[in-house]
Amino acid sequence: MHEKSLMVVGAASLVFAIAAGCGSQMNSPPFAGAPPKLDTAEKRRGEVVFMQNCNQCHPGGAGGLGPALNNKPPPAAAIKLVIRIGPGDMPSFGTADLSDDDVDAVAKYVVALRNADDDAREATEPGGGKEPIRERPTRTIMTP
């Protein structure tokens, strides 16, 4: 029960933090990163639904009338919640507006937007441009 309460409080805190950013104009430079990896039909559907319903305020995931989405860390569950409740000046999208499948698809598309630069780097650089993890040397302690 305690874990569930912590999850509810955490989700509510996240929603309020996102809502605080939705009430004001937040312009950001045009999104010039790599295109998102749309490797599933669901992500491609998410792009279509996003362009029809979200792109007006979050152009290409960047800030416009709404805050930038391509640099936010919320998980897909939080994205879905925000779509449904419409915090701040953002409109809410109920089941009459977007099906649960459409909301799932948009959430996956937004996550793909956020991961686009990392996905591109992994595809073009050996090891994804990241330092390989090296094991720490072990010491052998010998006792008499």
Which domains are assigned to the chain? 29-118 (1.10.760.10)
Confidence tier at 106 by pLDDT (50, 70, 90): very high
Structure tokens at 63: 């800030």
Q: Which residue has the higher pLDDT, 132 or 59?
A: 59
- pLDDT of the residue at 140: 54
**72-82 residue pLDDT tens:** 767 889 999 99
For residue 56, the 8-state DSSP code is T
